[in-house]
């Protein structure tokens, strides 16, 4: 992590540190856009802007020279070009009580710099003849514009100008203070360190812990300590030699002076030397070398100008730009090299750069390598970046002026490609500067020192991939258990004779083994695709492609959906036209399937784009509680979907026909009336055009309840009756010609179908739908709450190839799909358990209506028609079967009858 507490007193004498909400932009100025596109009345807009900015200790836009003017004109034009802003930026000019135009910082406009083509009204007295005005930068004319007694749509920026620049330190003491009397360069580390740490810190700056050779130097060190408020002692550079018989100075100078207090050094008190700064004489005592005390670094003057030396740096070196911290204008490249086979992990100790102009570029290798990160602005978080394959990283400080900022300071070490950082060789003070910097500037980040940012982008990516692979491994383990159970149970087991025949058992077992085998194949392929996508920078590439278009979000979603569709298509085709076809369930033709798939792709994309756009807007504009607003938004969408889908979307794919009058309709209506179920319609769906699997469900809100039956649920005879009543006819000759098996031996009679409907009505009567919706809503809220703590993490963005954080839509995809995988698995197990319980309750409800025996035969028929094996691995069934095995359901029904 970080080290060097000494550096704090140097770094945080900064003049350009911006408060929260402000960005370091140019010339050490901190900017914040307070609002955009606000309609204001002149001159109120200027006065309000001054008041608003004053709340932050800031002023509106302040222009003192041509460079300022050109810069704010460019901002104005950029705002207007973006389309969501108007570009009329309010200037901090107002009319004072003497009727003179004044800047918000107290300067009179007339006597200060003005643009060449300025409005002559700036010469005139203001506020006369009832004319009260404000001034803005007009993006159309690229000049100042006066608005009087009118409404105008404006943007407002607030500025915090740099305070007086610190005195330029003596060139011969760059980064250090100069004591003229003793002609030494010194810097005091007021935060405690032990003797080893203190020497490591001072060596990083070409200095040593203070050595003392006469009374004058002793007095100087003591006065220096007291002037910094260090009255409880200070470490010196002295310690016992290897033979333990004499003291020596760490800088190698002769031990020719001492000032030990009477009775010191004492045996057993320690081998290092410290000064008692609370007494006038500055006497010394011996202390344990692990004692943590403040210290001073001292070195001889060096009158050379700061230059970029271009040397290859060693691990643990503190690396800063030439002239740091007083001059950041000198560009410099640093080569950070570790042992072959290792990766370079660099840590940002501090970066202070104007975001308009200056930057630190980290690249893989020496020259022409892939960029790892481009950094600017202010960073004090100890961010880490790592090479992906090489043992050399190039750190390039590229200022374009470097005005009123200090520049950059970094350190680095080696890291194993397959493990976390190797730190055993580093002193304990490694992390002390991180603690110091954060305590002084961004204290809340102390709690985040063990989060994603500390982990580093590459390691974080490895962890995400590993977690998803483990999740795949868990699923494969469950499938292996289920497949092994079915393979080992060759013959129909005892106790299920009444449920399935030997012949049907053999068919069901074969179907299950084939499906499980294909599922293994699919999961391995999907895991390989996931690894390839994450390590190849798929999301970054797709987003980069999308950003070159007029609608990046929409284009990204279209491309992502299209890629997902094309990757899944071969697997889906094999599943339908090989596995399902082999066992008699596939009813698709090739052309029908492709048209169906394309319709689903187009429809899903058309729905996803506006929903994703709304979600992204809420995330980016909802503040800290955006997850609450997004939860409400998603909840509304779910309720609308539950209403709209059956009535408007599902009919795009399947034909919904009203169930004609007859025994089946009459029996269902009588059952609904008995339960006071507000039934409006009963539909039959031609599910047999796609699959041989059967289903039934309820939908609708309040008094508009409806029931849907798949035609595959009906026996061949009953289905013919229904279709004949609807004016349709089952073409048996065509089925024979196409080689498809007739459905006469499948499906249920009227009483069994009514029993199934009774089970579904049990879910309604027992409020299962409401309970499931409540569980789903809780899950969504918890998921969004977790997402709110991840999505802005810049290390997470860097792991997927994005510097400065990933775009919101990609964060949404990545966090939900990859980061939340373990949570989703755990919640899924809870959901399966609740659903299984509800199925038993609905069965019991149907039995209480006197439908138990018919529901039993219906379950047997469903099991036979869908080729369900009545034998299951207990763990697989517990984790994956939302509906309990038919044997358990029948056993439970027997107890209710």
Tokens representing 728 are 């349709």
CA 337 to chain centre: 31
Bridging pattern class, strands 89-90 and 133-138: antiparallel
Angstrom distance (rounded) from CA 261 to CA 288: 16
What's the full length of the chain, in residues?
897
Contact 396, 333 (CB under 8 A): yes
As a whole number of angstroms, the distance between CA 473 and CA 72 comes to 56
Alpha carbon distances (Å) from 227 to 174, 230, 296, 379, 399: 21, 7, 12, 30, 35
| Binding annotation | 759, 763, 839
Alpha-helical segments (H) within 83-180: none
Provide the Cα torsion 597, 603, 606, 611; round to 10°: -110
Bond into 400 cis (ω within 30)? no
Q: How far apart are CA 134 and CA 93, in angstroms?
A: 7
Max CA separation in the chain (angstroms): 117
Cα–Cα distance list, 677 to 638, 661, 664, 710, 852 (Å): 23, 19, 17, 20, 20
CA angle 50, 56, 62 (to 5 degrees): 45
Six token digits for residue 154 = 């404006």
Name the token pair of 193: 């360190």
Question: What spatial distance separates the first Cα and last Cα of the chain, rounded to whole Å?
Answer: 69
For residue 212, the cross-strand partners are none
Q: Count the Cβ atoms, other than its own, within 10 Å of residue 648.
A: 9
Residue 339 φ/ψ, nearest 5 degrees? -65, 150
Residues serving a catalytic function are 760, 843
Quick check: 407 and 26 in contact, CB under 8 A?
no
- Name the binding residues for Zn(2+): 759, 763, 839
**Please, are residues 757 and 849 in contact by the beta-carbon 8 Å criterion?**
no
């Amino acid at each position: 992590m970080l080290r060097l507490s000494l550096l704090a007193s140097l770094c945080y004498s900064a003049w350009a540190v911006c408060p929260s909400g402000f960005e370091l932009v140019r010339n050490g100025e901190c900017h914040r856009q307070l609002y955009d596109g606000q309609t204001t009345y002149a001159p109120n807009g200027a006065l309000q802007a001054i008041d608003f900015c004053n709340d932050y200790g800031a002023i509106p836009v302040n222009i003192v020279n041509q460079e300022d003017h050109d810069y704010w004109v460019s901002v104005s034009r950029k705002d207007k070009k973006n389309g969501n802003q108007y570009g009329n930026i309010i200037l901090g000019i107002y009319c004072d009580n003497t009727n003179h135009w004044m800047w918000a910082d107290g300067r009179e406009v007339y006597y200060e710099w003005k643009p060449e083509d300025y409005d002559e009204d700036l010469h005139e007295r203001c506020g006369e003849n009832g004319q009260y005005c404000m001034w803005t930068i007009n993006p159309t004319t690229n000049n100042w514009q006066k608005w009087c007694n009118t409404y105008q749509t404006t943007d407002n920026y607030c500025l915090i100008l740099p305070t007086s620049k610190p005195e330029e330190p003596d060139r011969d003491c760059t980064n250090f203070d100069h004591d003229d009397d003793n002609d030494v360069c010194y810097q005091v580390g007021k935060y405690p360190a032990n003797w080893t740490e203190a020497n490591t810190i001072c060596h990083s700056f070409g200095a040593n812990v203070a050595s003392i050779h006469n009374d004058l130097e002793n007095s100087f060190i003591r006065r220096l300590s007291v002037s910094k408020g260090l009255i409880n002692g200070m470490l010196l550079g002295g310690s016992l030699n290897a033979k333990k018989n004499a003291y020596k100075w760490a800088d190698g100078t002769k031990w020719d002076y001492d000032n030990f207090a009477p009775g010191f050094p004492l045996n057993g008190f320690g081998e290092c030397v410290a000064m008692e700064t609370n007494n006038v004489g500055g006497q010394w005592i011996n202390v344990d070398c692990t004692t943590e005390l403040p210290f001073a670094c001292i070195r001889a003057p060096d009158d050379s100008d700061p230059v970029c030396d271009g040397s290859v740096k060693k691990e643990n070196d503190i690396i800063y730009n030439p002239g740091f911290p007083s001059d950041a204008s000198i560009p410099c490249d640093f080569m950070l090299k570790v042992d072959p086979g290792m990766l370079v992990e660099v840590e940002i100790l501090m970066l202070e750069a104007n975001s308009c102009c200056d930057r630190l570029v980290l690249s893989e290798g020496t020259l022409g390598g892939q960029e790892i990160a481009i950094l600017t602005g202010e960073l004090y978080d100890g961010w880490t970046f790592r090479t992906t394959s090489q043992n050399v990283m190039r750190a390039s400080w590229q200022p374009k002026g470097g005005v009123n900022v200090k520049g950059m300071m970094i350190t680095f070490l080696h890291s194993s490609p397959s493990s976390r950082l190797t730190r055993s060789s580093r002193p304990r003070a490694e992390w002390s500067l991180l603690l110091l910097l954060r305590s002084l500037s961004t204290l809340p980040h102390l709690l985040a020192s063990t989060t994603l940012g500390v982990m580093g982008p590459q390691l974080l990516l490895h962890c995400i991939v590993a977690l998803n692979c483990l999740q795949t491994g868990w699923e494969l383990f469950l499938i292996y258990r289920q497949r092994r159970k079915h393979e080992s149970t060759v013959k129909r087991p005892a106790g299920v004779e009444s449920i399935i025949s030997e012949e049907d058992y053999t068919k069901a077992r074969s179907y299950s083994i084939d499906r499980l085998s294909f599922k293994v194949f699919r999961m391995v392929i999907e895991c390989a695709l996931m690894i390839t996508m994450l390590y190849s920078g798929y999301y970054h590439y797709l987003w980069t492609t999308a950003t070159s278009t007029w609608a990046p979000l929409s284009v990204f979603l279209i491309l992502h959906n299209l890629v997902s569709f094309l990757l899944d298509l071969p697997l889906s085709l094999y599943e339908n036209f090989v596995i399902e076809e082999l066992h008699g369930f596939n009813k698709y033709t090739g052309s029908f399937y492709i048209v169906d798939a394309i319709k689903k792709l187009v429809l899903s994309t058309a729905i996803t784009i506006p929903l994703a756009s709304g979600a992204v807007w809420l995330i980016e504009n909802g503040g800290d509680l955006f997850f609450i607003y997004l939860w409400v938004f998603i909840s509304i969408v779910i309720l609308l979907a539950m209403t709209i889908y059956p009535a408007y979307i599902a009919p795009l794919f399947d034909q919904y026909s009203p169930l004609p009058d007859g025994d089946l309709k009459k029996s269902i209506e009588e059952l609904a009336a008995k339960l006071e179920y507000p039934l409006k319609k009963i539909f039959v769906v031609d599910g047999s055009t796609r699959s041989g699997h059967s289903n039934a469900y309820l939908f609708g809100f309040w008094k508009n309840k409806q029931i849907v039956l798949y035609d595959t649920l009906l026996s061949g005879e009953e289905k013919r009756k229904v279709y004949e009543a609807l004016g349709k006819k089952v073409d048996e000759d065509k089925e024979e010609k196409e080689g498809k098996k007739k459905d006469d031996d499948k499906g249920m009679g009227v009483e069994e179908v009514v029993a199934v409907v009774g089970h579904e009505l049990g879910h309604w009567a027992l409020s299962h739908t409401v309970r499931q919706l409540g569980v789903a809503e809780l899950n969504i809220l918890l998921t969004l709450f977790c997402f709110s703590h991840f999505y802005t993490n810049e290390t997470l963005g860097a792991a997927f190839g994005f510097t400065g954080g990933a775009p919101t839509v990609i964060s949404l995809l990545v966090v939900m799909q990859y980061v939340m995988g373990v949570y989703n698995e755990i919640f899924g197990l809870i959901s399966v358990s609740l659903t299984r319980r509800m199925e038993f309750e609905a069965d019991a409800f149907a039995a209480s209506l006197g439908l138990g025996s018919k529901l039993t035969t219906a379950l047997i028929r469903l099991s036979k028609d869908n080729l369900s094996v009545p034998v299951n691995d207990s763990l697989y069934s517990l984790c994956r079967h939302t509906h309990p095995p038919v044997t358990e359901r029948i056993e439970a029904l027997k107890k209710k009858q």
